[in-house]
Amino acid sequence: MQGNKKVGADAILLDNMSPDTLTEAVGRVNRRAITEASGRVTLATAPAIAATGVDLISTGWITHSAPILDLGLDVT
């Protein structure tokens, strides 16, 4: 929200923030929108990120080193 004027956001993406900063941001949003954390998310950091109170956690590290599967569909 900007002052008392609603801006209409359904979700707020909180990217590359420390757990302390995430906690502060979640408090500022105060359940007026869904909060989603991304960036710096690993198996080791996920518990601390979850403890900040964010609603969602997004991560790409699961697929960064995934092997490539060359899959095709040929229709004749």
Asked if the structure places residue 30 within a domain, the reply is yes
Q: Given this model, what pLDDT does residue 72 score?
A: 86
* Token pair listed for 71: 């899959």
Asked if the structure places residue 5 within a domain, the reply is no
Asked if the structure places residue 35 within a domain, the reply is yes
Domain of 53, CATH number, reads: 3.20.20.70
Asked if the structure places residue 2 within a domain, the reply is no
- One-character DSSP codes across 7-18: ---SEEEEES--
The candidate with the shortest Cα–Cα distance to 28, out of 15, 49, 14, is: 14
Q: Determine if the pTM surpasses 0.85.
A: no
C-alpha to C-alpha distance for 56 and 46, rounded to whole angstroms: 11
Phi, psi (5° rounding) for residue 12?
A: -125, 125
Asked if the structure places residue 73 within a domain, the reply is no
Domain count, the chain: 1
The residue with greater pLDDT, 60 or 4, is 60
Asked if the structure places residue 3 within a domain, the reply is no
* Token pair listed for 2: 């900007």
Q: Given this model, what pLDDT does residue 3 score?
A: 55
Asked if the structure places residue 31 within a domain, the reply is yes
